[in-house]
Amino acid sequence: MSQSNPAAPAAARITALRAMGARRFGRNNWRGTWTLAQRETKRFLAVWQQTLAAPLVTAGLFLGIFSLAMAGRPPVMGVPFLHFLVPGILMMSVIQNAFANTSSSIVGAKVMGNIVDTLMPPLSPSELVMGYLAGGVARGLMVSVVIVLAVGLTLGVWPSHPLWLVLIAVTGATLLGALGIVAGILAAKFDQIAAVTNFVVTPLSFLSGTFYSTEAMPPVMAALSHLNPFFYLIDGARFAYLGVSDSNPWLGLAVTAGSALALALLSWTWFARGFRLKP
């Protein structure tokens, strides 16, 4: 009479779970999240001429053109006009690049049909969001470092509150990175991402006080500007650089952090449902 092996049922159950793709590495797949973040970072570093050098050239052109066109302009908010422009141009570059990184990654994978390579690994929706956001934040911060160093070495303008600049840059990159995830999920082709950039991101950036102070605006327009989350990013960067701002920096941080959280939760929901990602 054969004797049954008591370990056989347990071994069979483990084999079945592995076949179903059960997570066997704890509550959080930190290695998988880190791998996705590395992929997103290496993706833009491979073309650093476009992703890091180009924003520096664009920022330099903005500053050069405005310094010539507005020569002799009186100080704004108590500082020279060229110095007033630096924080806005810096933050505009950060948010545009953070948006471009996450949105282009997702829509590119959808267009080429390899989005399944990201969805198949054992990554939860929160881990996917964190991995994509890490790449967007990394690109935004690297762009900010390049511009801060270039402006400081050429114009002698350095942030008066560097830790606050890091905080507002991370918040802005997170906000636009999350918006890029949302846009990438919704878009089916690159033309649609370009439409979001041209009709949403760029106008909101330009109408957020990048090149002017809301003190010079009519009361109604100034009030409408305060409904734009980008305004608080520009204003927060201006406080970090110059120590002056149009609004309470803490209020701006709360508004932008809340907006980033809302968009991240929306991204998490769509990843969990496979909305516009799974056939």
Q: pTM score, two decimals?
A: 0.88
The confidence score (pLDDT) of residue 5 equals 58
Q: How far apart are alpha carbons 100 and 136 in whole angstroms? A: 8
Tell me how crowded residue 142 is: count the other CB atoms within 10 A of its CB: 20
Q: Which of 139, 123, 79 is CA-nearest to residue 87?
A: 79
8 A C-beta contact, residue 205 and residue 96: yes
Per-domain boundaries in the chain: 29-273
Q: Is 13 exposed, middle or buried (0-12, 13-18, 19+ CB in 10 A)?
A: exposed
One-letter amino acid at 36 equals L
The confidence score (pLDDT) of residue 136 equals 97
The confidence score (pLDDT) of residue 263 equals 97
Q: Which of 118, 96, 224 is CA-nearest to residue 172?
A: 96
pLDDT by position in tens, the chain (length 279) = 445 555 566 666 655 545 544 555 567 889 999 999 999 999 999 999 999 999 999 999 999 888 888 777 788 888 888 899 999 999 999 999 999 999 999 999 999 988 999 988 889 999 999 999 999 999 999 999 999 999 999 999 999 999 999 999 999 999 999 999 999 999 999 999 999 999 999 999 888 888 888 777 778 877 888 889 999 999 999 999 999 888 899 999 999 999 999 999 999 999 999 999 876
- The b/e string for 82-102 (b: 16+ C-beta within 10 A; e otherwise) is bbbbbbbbbbbbbbbbbbbbb
Tokens standing for residue 31: 């290695």
| 96 contacts: CB under 8 Å, gap ≥ 6 | 55, 176, 197, 201, 202, 205
DSSP line for the chain: -PPP-THHHHHHHHHHHHHTT---S-S--HHHHHHHHHHHHHHHHTTHIIIIIHHHHHHHHHHHHHHHHTTTPPPBTTB-HHHHHHHHHHHHHHHHHHHHHHHHHHHHHHHHT-THHHHSSS--HHHHHHHHHHHHHHHHHHHHHHHHHHHHHHH----SSHHHHHHHHHHHHHHHHHHHHHHHHH-SSHHHHHHHIIIIIHHHHHTTTSSS-GGGS-HHHHHHHTT-HHHHHHHHHHHHHHS--SS-HHHHHHHHHHHHHHHHHHHHHHHHHTTTT--
The confidence score (pLDDT) of residue 74 equals 81
8 A C-beta contact, residue 127 and residue 34: no
The confidence score (pLDDT) of residue 2 equals 47
Q: How far apart are alpha carbons 233 and 226 in whole angstroms? A: 11
8 A C-beta contact, residue 114 and residue 68: no
The confidence score (pLDDT) of residue 162 equals 96
8 A C-beta contact, residue 144 and residue 94: yes
